[in-house]
Amino acid sequence: MIEINTQNTAKAIEKARKTKPLVKVIEFRHYQVTNKITGATYTVKFSKINNRKFAECDCKSIKVCYHIGASIGFHIVLAEQTIKA
């Protein structure tokens, strides 16, 4: 699990914008990210503990990966909708 913030997610989001992976919502805070070229699929989960935000991906990366970057936008929109509901 990696603590996320705007600083450490910026590069991952930029790479995700370039690679344009397919993101599928499994449930709130749980996403499936697929590389359209290779077909590789990874699972990303978000959590919040004591007002600190965390993400985890089952890829090999030990830092914020583009899979997290790709799914974070979906997560933010869903979280805002949940708060409004």
* Domain 2-84, classified CATH 3.30.70, yes or no: no
| Burial environment of residue 7 by CB neighbours within 10 A (0 to 12, 13 to 18, 19 or more) | exposed
**Interior angle at CA 45, CA 43 and CA 51, nearest 5:** 165
Whole-number pLDDT of residue 85: 62
Whole-number pLDDT of residue 81: 81
pLDDT by 10s per residue, the chain, length 85: 999 999 999 999 999 999 999 999 999 999 999 999 999 999 999 999 999 999 999 999 999 999 999 999 888 888 888 777 6
| Burial environment of residue 68 by CB neighbours within 10 A (0 to 12, 13 to 18, 19 or more) | buried
Where are the domains positioned within the chain? 2-84
Whole-number pLDDT of residue 79: 82
Whole-number pLDDT of residue 29: 94
Residue at 51: amino acid letter? N
